Amino acid sequence: MEGAIQNLHIPLISAIIMSILIKNTLLGGKESHIYIEENRISEIGRITEADEVIDGANTIAMPGLVNTHTHAAMTLLRGYGDDMPLHEWLQNRIWPAEAKLDGEMVYWGTRLAIIEMIKSGTTAFNDMYFFMEDVARAVQDSGVRALLGYGFIDLFDEEKRENEIKETEKFVRFVETMNNPRIKAAVAPHAIYTVSREGLEWSAEFAREKGLRLHTHVSETEKEVKDSFEQHGMSPVKYLDSMGFLGSDVIAAHSVWLDDRDIEIYAKRGVWPSHNPASNMKLAVGRAMPYSRMRKHGIKPVLGTDGAASNNNLDMLEEMKTAALLQKLSGDPTALPAHEALKMATEWGTQALGFNAGKIEEGYLADIILIRSDIPEMTPMHNWESSAVYAANGSAVDTVICDGRTLMRNRRIDGEEEAIRRAREMAERFYG
Ligand SMILES: [Zn+2]
């Protein structure tokens, strides 16, 4: 942990720019000027001068993408164990490696993840992991936005539970003292099969007392659901609801194996299911999240990559396409159209995380990305939404602005080489 703190001298966000003008970009299919004052979008249209002027010709402007479920530092475990059954993968590869993690590794793993996210157009993410103070520092140093939760795992042991409660409270206090509007704390009990009923109840109570969001994994596999029926006589969703856990402040990762009753409960409580299609397919969870049935009940599913060990990248443009294709595999080509994939990754995602971003309109936070429209895969552009979802991937992103600051221009990010070098060094430690 000490090591990570010493590494914080890198000047990532240089001179303070008070206003930015993006000229001649395509916004919603129309050529526009976007004017940003401090950290908000202040006008679409007339203004022609600013402290920083960005030529937006040959680009389309979109809200920054929002990754609603990830474990950022797992970039260090990218490709460390692939093509394995879930439980063997966790027990023989992931958990032994994670036991070797320290704060410095998590800091650089997260810095690497954030650079990868920025380069593929993500400006906000929802993270659950360990050494979360180091994750928070990495977010602070990188200029993006994040909702961060300490991965609470008590394994049904009272002593462990007391420790996890202390860790959670300590991290929430740490985020409070950071006093950075880009960083918010969440309460993140891992799942019903790793956290006791008492731990889940404490989490919900503490989150509501503090006005924080809850982040957990729900019904990722059929086994989880079967075990829940055996142990509690009900589904994981019903079990969580029976203790008052579910609400519009809950982000429920995966939510794959839900029945109609579960979906009704989600709709009634306003839960945000975070769809992680690449991870679900890679770990072979056996079916797709019931997206269309959720939409029929008015639920707004959001999108996430999950960690890089189960994806294996953090490219949200790719994830939109994966989500749309996975739903169409059911035989319905109209399921999850491009327009909705974009909403999942922007407007709805940011609502789930509780930030006032996700739209390029006056008054919204200035989280904006520019995607090149003059590259082969974006030519011709009959429909910008189809091009963004089905044709583009992260490498089409040219410029990224978050909170009114330019984090990437012409695909250049300050500190990229150092983060890659340090992350590579950190990953060596798994073999030590
Ligand atoms: Zn996860």
Res. 6 pLDDT band, cuts 50 70 90 = very low
Please state, rounded to an integer, the average pLDDT across all residues of the chain: 95
pLDDT value of residue 45: 87
pLDDT tops 50 at residue 429: yes
What is the mean predicted confidence (pLDDT) over 203-207?
98
pLDDT value of residue 26: 96
pLDDT value of residue 17: 67
Helix ranges, 291-408 (H): 291-296, 316-328, 338-345, 347-353, 384-386
Tens digit of each residue's pLDDT (9 = 90 or more) over 335-384: 999 999 999 999 999 999 999 999 999 999 999 999 999 999 999 999 99
For the chain, the domains span 2-63+362-417, 65-353
Q: How far is the CA of 241 from the centre of ligand 1 (A)?
A: 20
pLDDT value of residue 15: 52
Q: How far is the CA of 215 from the centre of ligand 1 (A)?
A: 10
pLDDT tops 60 at residue 5: no
CATH 3.90.700.10 fits 65-353, yes or no: no
pLDDT tops 80 at residue 410: yes
pLDDT value of residue 113: 98
Q: How far is the CA of 311 from the centre of ligand 1 (A)?
A: 11
Q: How far is the CA of 71 from the centre of ligand 1 (A)?
A: 6
Same fold, 2-63+362-417 and 65-353: no
Tens digit of each residue's pLDDT (9 = 90 or more) over 105-159: 999 999 999 999 999 999 999 999 999 999 999 999 999 999 999 999 999 999 9
What is the mean predicted confidence (pLDDT) over 6-20?
58
How far apart are alpha carbons 345 and 316 in whole angstroms? Answer: 7
220-246 per-residue burial string, b: 16 or more CB within 10 A, e: under 16:
bbeebbeebeeeeebbbbbbbbeeebb
How far apart are alpha carbons 13 and 93 in whole angstroms? Answer: 36
How far apart are alpha carbons 197 and 305 in whole angstroms? Answer: 28
pLDDT value of residue 48: 83
Q: How far is the CA of 375 from the centre of ligand 1 (A)?
A: 34
What is the mean predicted confidence (pLDDT) over 330-339?
96
The pair of structure tokens assigned to 290 is 């019931």
> 256 near 219, Cβ under 8 Å?
yes
Amino acid in position 97: A
Query: In percent, how much of the chain has pLDDT > 70?
Result: 96
Strand runs (DSSP E) across 225-319, as ranges? 250-254, 272-275, 302-303
Q: How far is the CA of 33 from the centre of ligand 1 (A)?
A: 38
Q: How far is the CA of 20 from the centre of ligand 1 (A)?
A: 36
Q: How far is the CA of 17 from the centre of ligand 1 (A)?
A: 36
Task: Give the least confident one: 51-55, 83-87, 170-174, 303-307.
Answer: 83-87
pLDDT tops 70 at residue 3: no
Q: How far is the CA of 379 from the centre of ligand 1 (A)?
A: 35
Q: How far is the CA of 357 from the centre of ligand 1 (A)?
A: 24
Res. 86 pLDDT band, cuts 50 70 90 = confident
First to last CA, the chain: 18
pLDDT tops 90 at residue 432: no
Topology (CATH) of 2-63+362-417: Urease, subunit C; domain 1 (2.30.40)
153-169 per-residue burial string, b: 16 or more CB within 10 A, e: under 16:
bbeeeeebbeebbeebe
pLDDT tops 70 at residue 16: no
Q: How far is the CA of 22 from the centre of ligand 1 (A)?
A: 36
Q: How far is the CA of 228 from the centre of ligand 1 (A)?
A: 19
- Strand 122-129 to 65-70 pairing: parallel
Residues sharing a CB contact under 8 Å with residue 195, sequence separation 6 or more, in sequence order: 152, 153, 154, 189, 203
pTM for the model stands at: 0.95
Q: How far is the CA of 218 from the centre of ligand 1 (A)?
A: 10
Q: How far is the CA of 28 from the centre of ligand 1 (A)?
A: 33
Q: How far is the CA of 310 from the centre of ligand 1 (A)?
A: 9
Task: Give the least confident one: 90-94, 163-167, 238-242, 293-297.
Answer: 90-94
Tens digit of each residue's pLDDT (9 = 90 or more) over 382-393: 999 999 999 999
User: Residues whose CB is under 5 A from ligand 1 (ion)?
Assistant: 306
